[in-house]
């Protein structure tokens, strides 16, 4: 897997290849994901709808949408991750202009071809349609807890504490949380610990220090969780990241 980032905008390209991996059910809280199959086939299960995507097919994963992805070693997948705040704060016309500029720079550096770039750009408008018409409805209390976990995933928050925060029983909380979020509070917490740790790895902090700060028992525990969720180890993730040089 290779990651390409920009300094100026919360937009990242990910090229996933040479892996034989099934990513279990998860979601992305902080960004929309637009993916194009560049080679082979990728099986996607999005909100309990299963689809086999072939070369040239595009699929979009909105924030909080529960999904799983199965990718064989012969498949090649290009994903553009766009920060939720960027979509919320930028109008469609401006977003399309910015994305087009970034796509041109990425194509000039040979990260992907013109065909894939055109598909990604065309999908930006669909993302805005999802923003305005396809928001995932969520219980107000569950949203409060989800935001709390997302903001501080390293904190140890027991089921009893979370349930008390919204005045429900722990059994009701677990059922409602899984119904709304697609996973248990513990699973959601671990997922968000890994997401936050990815940002910390970008800051070139030591892996052992990140493991400790994010509440893992040790680095081995952290490595296993990271590998399961991201698909590669923390050290591989660090070495796979590249910064795209921008002309402006």
High-pLDDT (> 90) share of the chain, %: 75
pLDDT at 248: 44
Range from 101-115, 135-149, 164-178 carrying the lowest mean pLDDT: 135-149
What is the average per-residue pLDDT within 157-162?
A: 91
Confidence (pTM): 0.89
CATH topology of domain 140-242: Arc Repressor Mutant, subunit A (1.10.10)
pLDDT at 7: 82
Q: Per-residue pLDDT for 130 more than 50?
A: yes
pLDDT at 127: 95
Domain boundaries, the chain: 2-133, 140-242
pLDDT at 205: 84
pLDDT tens figures, 210-233 = 999 999 988 999 999 999 999 899
pLDDT at 41: 95
CB 214 within 8 A of CB 222: yes
pLDDT at 217: 86
Q: Per-residue pLDDT for 11 more than 50?
A: yes
Choose among 13, 12, 15: nearest CA to 1: 15
pLDDT at 245: 59
What secondary structure letter does DSSP report for 244? P
Q: Per-residue pLDDT for 1 more than 80?
A: yes
Same topology for domains 2-133 and 140-242, yes or no?
Answer: no
Mean residue pLDDT across the chain: 91
What is the average per-residue pLDDT within 35-49?
A: 93
3-state SS class at 29: coil
Q: Per-residue pLDDT for 65 more than 80?
A: yes
pLDDT at 135: 66
pLDDT at 185: 93
Q: Per-residue pLDDT for 18 more than 60?
A: yes
CB 46 within 8 A of CB 7: no
Q: Per-residue pLDDT for 247 more than 60?
A: no
d(CA 174, CA 186): 10
Place domain 2-133 in its CATH homologous superfamily: Jelly Rolls (2.60.120.10)
Choose among 65, 16, 63: nearest CA to 42: 16
Q: Per-residue pLDDT for 112 more than 80?
A: yes
Q: Per-residue pLDDT for 152 more than 60?
A: yes
Looking from the CA of 7 toward its CB, the CA atoms found within 13 Å total 6
CA dihedral 26, 229, 188, 9 (to 10 degrees): -80
pLDDT at 137: 76
pLDDT at 243: 73
d(CA 60, CA 46): 9
SS (H, E, C) 32-89: EEEEEEEECCEEEEECCEEEEECCCCEEEECCCCCEEEEECCCCEEEEEEEEHHHHHH
């Amino acid at each position: 897997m290779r990651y390409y980032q920009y300094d100026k905008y919360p937009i990242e390209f990910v090229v996933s290849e040479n892996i034989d991996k099934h990513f279990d059910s998860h979601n992305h809280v902080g960004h929309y994901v637009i993916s194009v199959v560049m080679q082979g086939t990728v099986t996607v299960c999005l909100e309990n709808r299963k689809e086999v995507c072939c070369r040239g097919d595009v699929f979009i994963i909105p924030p909080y949408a529960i999904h799983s992805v199965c990718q064989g070693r012969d498949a090649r997948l290009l994903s553009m991750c766009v920060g939720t705040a960027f979509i919320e704060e930028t109008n469609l016309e401006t977003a399309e202009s910015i994305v087009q500029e970034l796509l041109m720079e990425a194509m000039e550096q040979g990260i992907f071809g013109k065909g894939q770039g055109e598909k990604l750009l065309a999908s930006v408008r669909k993302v805005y349609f999802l923003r305005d018409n396809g928001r995932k409805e969520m219980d107000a209390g569950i949203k409060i807890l989800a935001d709390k976990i997302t903001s501080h995933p390293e904190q140890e928050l027991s089921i009893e504490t979370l349930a008390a925060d919204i005045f429900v029983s722990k059994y009701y909380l677990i059922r409602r949380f899984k119904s709304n979020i697609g996973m248990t509070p513990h699973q959601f917490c671990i997922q968000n610990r890994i997401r936050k740790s990815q940002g910390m790895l970008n800051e070139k902090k030591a892996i052992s220090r990140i493991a400790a700060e994010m509440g893992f028992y040790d680095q081995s525990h952290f490595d296993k969780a990271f590998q399961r969720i991201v698909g590669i180890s923390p050290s591989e993730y660090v070495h796979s990241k590249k910064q795209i040089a921008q002309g402006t």
